[in-house]
Structure 1
């Protein structure tokens, strides 16, 4: 079985990061949740990507709809993820 590590130590461009991971066992979710904060990178990631107009419009439409879902908190996955990340942040700051 391939195992992925969430600490991303192989990201060579990242000079300063903070990594927090917590195991959660709840009715809606069981597993590890991870928060990676990146504070400093060697250089920005630059890539030349050619996107045609139709693909751009589709991506913009999908992202607009997703942003609306996030703002209204209608998506259960987004709700759960947001709650778990808020929990991790509170734990990392000693507020629980």
Structure 2
């Protein structure tokens, strides 16, 4: 089974982050909800969209 972790502890470029997670068990949704705030990263992560500017995925202050 493949596991994914919401705390993103495997990301090496994150220098400082805030992480919160709660478990919800409702009729419409059962699972974990995760919030990660990237307070400080080594360098932003972005990619180029066709005919557009760079699209930022992670940078300082991103939630």
Q: Larger Rg: 1 or 2?
A: 1
Runs of 4+ in 1 over 3 A off after TM superposition: none
Distance 2:27 2:17 in 1: 31
Q: Distance in 2 between matches of 1:27 and 1:51?
A: 40
TM-score for the superposition, normalised by structure 2: 0.69
Root-mean-square deviation (Å): 1.8
Hey, what does 1:40 align to over in structure 2? 40
Residues matched between the structures, number: 52
Does the alignment pair 1:15 with 2:15? yes
Query: Which runs of 5 or more residues in structure 2 are unaligned?
Result: 53-63
Partner Cα separation in structure 2 for residue 22 and residue 7 of structure 1 = 12
User: Within 2, Cα distance between the matches of 1:29 and 1:45?
Assistant: 31
Whole-angstrom CA distance in 1 between matches of 2:43 and 2:15: 10
Which residue in the other structure is 1:81 paired with?
none
TM-score, length-normalised on structure 1?
0.47
Greater helix content: 1
